[in-house]
Every structure is written in structure tokens, then in C-alpha cells.
Chain A
């Protein structure tokens, strides 16, 4: 039988039952490979469920560091009878099926072109453990042990991970090591080790760190000086708020008094979350909320108020599939338009598009500077793929000379000295007015905050010219924002290219891999990664420089393309959409296939010329 042979380049998928304790064993598997210097990118595919429904953990092992989802599976660890048929189908021809053969299964349950590896996991567990919970949990460790023998993963690295995890808990450490060895020994004694998929020690991890985007964005909020967080639980953003709390408990407690330099409110709904964040921003604290698409929908009215009243606030949107339940535990980039134009009236909002946990950290911290400099809501647009999956990423960096940019705030001294204060007065020509914090001065600088009904001095006014004057200033302010946003990053093709591609956010790893594959096939593409909205001129220039530009996105309606046409005034007929929106992360294979088809269609020479 054909057998896939691959060293440091394959995909393993664990099919488990939610709540069976498999998550930590699967992560152990991924981390042990990482410790051998080989990059991995794991992805959780989980249901809207606590216990019982199917869940998958897909680990891509790739020595070159390609971290996008590859598509296809080389080895399935089939631990869930419910999804057996579906999982079996996923395996590439010549791939491997690892299963618990304690109970015999009919031949019809297998495929002729798949190598079958049976380990009697239940039998081993039942013979070794009497406690039902132990039988369940250690079954997972035993399969990791067996896999380590089959794939030449160094057991020493796994045992080291155990000793780090169970520091000071000797009994737990010993029992885990025992389970691991049970699995290894069974495989060594009964199976042909190694199989074709093998891990070979390399040196390709370097100084990179292994972390998920939600943890990173929460840490960015701590470094960025956020003191008030208000949130309502919603997948996939809940772990962000919880990570913020955890970081704060470690880094934000006054050592002298034991009291907190932060306040977190789990509010009654998303309306209250954004209201609390806006109130805090108005009163001089750096505040944020984290949510997902449905939360953004609920916050619309308040977002408009913050835009018009010019209140700094940060919203972290961990994007996911649509409303209700189910698809929301899958990833998408489908909130761009609802955030860019959030609320009633004429509004436009600043957005940041991080590509990985490193940028989640950086942009999250930067979002607070932008919000206070621009006195407006700022959206950090991450998604489930970045937010909830552990990713190998560049280490976080921070310069101790970096100061918070608190923006234009008039002080007591300035007011006392008689400096003119008009809350909505554009003194510097950049559209950004000065504000005062409540309580600053006994007789000067107080103003009444409203939506749109005001003049430059924040006096109540329903006069048309005052309204228009204010709206035009907001346009100038949005222009100013362009200079402050992270610039788009160009990845030029190795050879002169007719095609351009624009991409953003979590599409990055799959895109980079796709560009390499396309180049090998002779399709050269200049690629530009957009990192924020409003768009800088470089983006329109890039489109103008190519006859065709692919816009690669993870949504149905080409939301970034819509924004590009609407806001960057690019020529829409040059833009070709590559859209992936089934809830799974976009793959390099998908991008390559789509771009190859488009490219072929545009290089075809007509057989017969019209009129010839």
C-alpha cells in the first residue's frame, strides 16, 4: 500500500469528544514537537457545547514555518465514534488512521488506501486504572505516548513539559509519565515504528513564542494602560477579558496596599459594556470592551455617540461566524463593514487588522494611543482563528522609553493661564480639538457632552451651519488618522508581476505560503498587507500599479473590497475577490487554486479572434 513519507511536514488531526480531557493531551503533543525545534500550528475546531459534541484539534507540523491551515489530513487520531466516517474521509490517500482497537471493527469501517494503526487504549486503561475519570484522562496521554514512538518524538521533551506543568505536584507528574510510557511501550512492542510521518530535531523555532491572540491582545491592553474593562461573555472573546483579569492580578496590584489599579465589570449586556467603557473614556481612563459581531450590533447606538461626542474608547472584535449559536464557534472576517460604519448618522471608524498574536499585542497597546489622540472609538479586528488558537509568533517587544499618548487634554494650568478652550474647536487644523477631564478647573473648561447638537464651544445648537462645520471637522480628523495608522506592508514578488494581492488579518500565514507556491508555478504576485482603516494612499497606488489585484478575504461579501472601492476610490474593475467563508480558516491550497484559475483565465489566448 502507498504510504505518505514526510519528515517535519504533515498534518495530524485529533478527533475527540468535547469535555473528555483531550485538549491538554493534544496541546502536549504539539508543544513537544515545538520543543524539538520544529514549528507547529494547532487549531481548535470546537462546537458550541460543553460536553459530548465532537471537537477537533488539527496540528500542522511544518519545518518551513508555514502556519496557515494546509487543508487535508495525513494522520487522524480517531477518538470519536460519532465522527468516524467523516474523519476517515479527510485522510489523504496513503495517510494513517490511528484508533482504539479494543473492540474489533468490521472491514467496512476502513479504507483500502489508508494505513491503519490500532492501539487497544481502552484495554490498557482498564487494566491499569480502576477510577473511571483516570481511565478517561490517561487514555489521552497513552495515545500521545504511542504517537511519540510512532513518529519519533523525543519522550524526554514530553517528560520535561510534564515536569514544568506539574511543578511541585509529584504524584500527578509520576502518573502522567507512567501513562506516557505505557503508550510508548505498547507501540514499540506491537507496531512497526516509526511510520512514514516523522519529527526530526531542527532549529527552526528560534526565539519565537507560542501564544494565542486573545492572551496577547489582553496583555497589549495592560501595556497600553487600560484601567477599565467592561465585557459580556461571548465566544470567541471571553478568554480575552479573562486573560486581562489574569494579567492584571499579576501586574496591576499596588504592592504597598494590595489594591487594584484596574477595574473589570462583567456587565449585563454589550450595551452596558460599551456604555461603561465610554463613561470611563470620557472621564480620563483608558477603557475597552471586547466582544464579537453580535456585541458590535448591540453597541451601534453608543458607538455613534462616542464618534460624535469624540470619546476615546477601544473595542476589540474577535470576529466569528454569524448570529445565534453554532457557526459562532468558527472563524470569519465578516464584521468589517458593520464596524467601519457602525451606528446611525454619517460615521466612519478607525480599525486595526492584526495578523497574529504579536500584532494583537502591539496593536492592542497602540489602539489606546490612537483612541486618545483621535478622541474616537478604535476597533481592533481580530478573529477566532488568531484569538483562540496558540500560534508560534515573534516575541513581544516593548521600549521602556515609550510614553502613553494621552492626546490633546487641556490642563488646569493652561485653563488658569487663560488659554482658549472650545471643546470642538479645531485649533491645530488637524480636526482634533482639545478636551478637558471633568473636575479640572473650578470655573473654566467645563462643557456639556452631547451627540451632534452643538457648536464649536459645545453650546447647544440645532443650527445647520454648526452641524455642517462639525461634520467637516470630523472628516479632517479622519484624514489625520491616516498618518497615525500602521502602514500597509508590501511583499514584493521575486520577479516582475502583473498581479497584485491585498490581504489582511488571519489570512497572512496561508497567504504567504500561497505566494511561495504560486511563484514556484510561475505565477508572480506582489502582495500588500493592509493593517488598518482609514486606508493610506499607498493602497490606492498599489492597486493603480497592477492591472489586476486579488483581494483575499474570509467573508462572503468582499467587505474589504467594498471599503477599498468606497473609501480608497480604487478602480473596482481591477479587483478580483478571493473569498473563503465556510467557517474554517482559509488555506494556502484554496488561495493557490483560486488565484491560479484567475491567472489562467487572464492569460488565455483566444482560439479565434472576433471578426477574424
Chain B
């Protein structure tokens, strides 16, 4: 934890993006998490992704539940509205916010306790509904703020800091997201910025429920030998299926790839996700094969990362509900109130 305030002055030579903001404009207040916490790297990746995508900070709404991870929205995008809601209930608040104004970008930040335990139901149902959002779980397998209890994503047999082995089966959030119809599913590692930033960018560009499970070691309670969520363990067992080179439509593809080594996935807005294959034959658009592959690799003890699944033409909740283009919260009496003449007709029909 640092007590040094961030300097407010920005150096005039700091690079600006096409909407006129420097990278610093996407930062928040100084983090109060432990030094070395994986979550701070994820915050940095979100800052980088939003800056690179030229997103105006105030057009993002960041929502969270309760826990270390849910504190992080204070530490990025200081010019965005944020909502630190109740434990495990971020998905419902985000769903409602999204219904009120479809024009903003919704970033839900949660943890493994917040999502896989107390909030499992809300996670499942927000994904089922196809809420247009980026849902990031900062997954460390442990309850930090309450001092080191196992969470529901802790692997069976992994050991707590005090040496106790976990006897419960882990909850597979990626598997659930796939089963429940998430149209963008990825897993990454907070220690791999090169992989994480493009994934966050692609998730932001995706329309529909985008879920990213980011393994984010807890340096205070879950970074010891015997843990399967430690920096060392994840680095040793990380098997990336692909590397994502996010492209925008207008950019010419100049990189040189060997034939058959890339997959291009066209997004709903015309942009293209270019994936460099690391696992041969891995097709991230075939849901059934993806589910089989992930189960196989998990049984072999691998932590598979990368863009695991994407359905580029997914529809979102607003499409399901056939809502108007204008944000519902901005409609006025004129569009919403049927008026006295209609009411007289209603009265007449009730006599």
C-alpha cells in the first residue's frame, strides 16, 4: 500500500489519443491494494485498453460488488461514474444500468468470491440474458479482505497459507460462461500484459456478454507453494491457445503470418479480431469443441488462456427486448405518458 499521492500535472509531451486524452486521463486514485497485487496490473490493462481504443472516459460506467477486486474501479477511469454495490450483486445493478442507457460502455469488475460464491446466480443470469458488458473476474482463489479463506474457485487439493488442503471441487467460471451462452469468453493472467490488454480491447468491442477470467495472484494470502493461483504456478502451467492481435477495420494488415497460423474473426461493427494460433486446430468459434478442449486440458493440469470462445454476431439484451435506440432514461413525458385522452378511453372500457 502506498501513501504517496499521484502528481496531478501531466507532462505536456504525453501522447494523446484521437479523442484528445493522455493515458494518465484514464487513471484513477492511487491503489490501496497490497504492493504486487495482481489486481493493479488488471487496472493498468483496463487503462491501457481504453486509451488505445480512444474511448472517452466519461462514456464508461464501471460497476463492482464487494471485495479487493471490487475496490479497484476507484483506481482506474477517474472520470467515469462508478458504483460499488453490494456483495455478489454487481450483475443485476449493471443489467439495470445498461437497460437505462444503452449508449454507455459497461465494465463489471468482480472477484472469485463475489462471482463464484455469493454472486453465482447473478453472474449466471446476466450472462444468460446477453447483457452487453465486459465482465472481468479478478480471480485469486481466496478471500483477501477477510484474511485468506478459500474461495469457490480454489482448486481441489490446493493449500491455504496455513497449510490446509481444499477438499471442495473448484467452480469452473469459464465452463459455466460457455454453457450459459456468453458470446465472448477469455482467460488471462494478470502477469501477462501482452495477452491481457488486447483481450480487454476485444471484449470492449464485442457486443454481448463478454466474460474474462483473469487469474490474479494474491500476494498476501495465496502466493505460496501449494497454491494453484500463485505467480509461479500460473507461469508454469499457463498454456495459451492463441495470441490476439486486435485490429480495427480501417487498419491494413501488414504483419507477416505463416499460412494457416491465423484466424480472423469479423466483429459486429466491422472490426476484425486476428488471432495467432498457438495451439494448432483450436477454433474459438466452435463452442462444443472449445468446451471439450478446455475440459481435456484442465484434466491434464493446464491453465488454458487466450480468447477461448467468440460468437461475433451475438445479439444483446436490448435486441432481445426490442428496445428503442434512444436511452430509456432520456425519454420524456412526450414519449412515455399516454395522456388524458387515452385515459378517458381506458376509463370508458372499464365501465
Contacts and interface: CB of A to CB of B under 8 A. Distances in A.
A265 interface: yes
A272 B61 CA distance: 19
B340 A209 contact: no
Interface in A275-302: 275-287, 301-302
A217 B88 CA distance: 31
Interface in A171-223: 205, 207-211, 219, 222-223
A449 B286 CA distance: 40
Nearest to B126: A272
B100 A227 contact: yes
Chain B: interface secondary structure? Answer: helix
Contact of B333 (A219, A258, A404, A447): A404
Given A210-B350, A259-B324, A448-B84, A280 B97 contact: yes
A371 to B, nearest CB: 14
Contacts of A273: 92
Contacts of B44: none
Interface in B80-110: 80-86, 89, 91-101, 103-104
A441 B95 CA distance: 22
A396 B343 contact: yes
B96 A277 contact: yes
A228 B98 CA distance: 11
A193 B63 CA distance: 71
A275 B74 CA distance: 21
B78 interface: yes
A279 B80 contact: no
Interface stretch (A68-76, A101-109, A249-257): A249-257
Contacts of A437: 101, 329
Contacts of B95: 265, 272, 275-276, 279
A449 B83 contact: yes
Nearest to A459: B29
Contacts of B318: 263
Contacts of A324: none
Interface residues of B, number: 61
Interface in B274-333: 318, 321-325, 327-333
B337 interface: yes
B339 A283 contact: no
B335 interface: yes
Interface string A109-129: 000000000000000000000
A117 B288 CA distance: 69
Contacts of B125: 267-268, 272
Interface residues of A, number: 73
A21 interface: no
B101 A228 contact: no
B128 to A, nearest CB: 9
A428 interface: no
A262 interface: yes
A441 B351 contact: no
A208 B78 CA distance: 56
A442 interface: yes
A261 B79 CA distance: 29
Given A263-B328, A302-B86, A460-B74, A251 B61 contact: no
B336 interface: yes
A509 to B, nearest CB: 18
A285 B94 CA distance: 13
Contacts of A402: 333
Nearest to A210: B350
Contacts of A130: none
A219 B96 contact: no
B17 to A, nearest CB: 13
Given A272-B125, A460-B74, A398 B79 contact: no
Q: Which of A257, A272, A305, A447 has the most CB of B within 10 A?
A: A272
B101 A283 contact: yes
Contact of A211 (B93, B329, B350): B350
A395 B345 CA distance: 11
Given A228-B96, A268-B121, A302-B86, A283 B329 contact: yes
B348 to A, nearest CB: 9
B347 A282 contact: no
Contacts of B337: 222-223, 225, 398, 404
Contacts of B97: 279-280, 282-283, 438
Contacts of A471: none
A269 B82 CA distance: 25
B73 interface: yes
A400 interface: yes
Given A272-B92, A272-B95, A287-B96, 8 more contacts: A267-B125, A275-B122, A280-B96, A282-B96, A301-B86, A439-B58, A448-B83, A449-B85
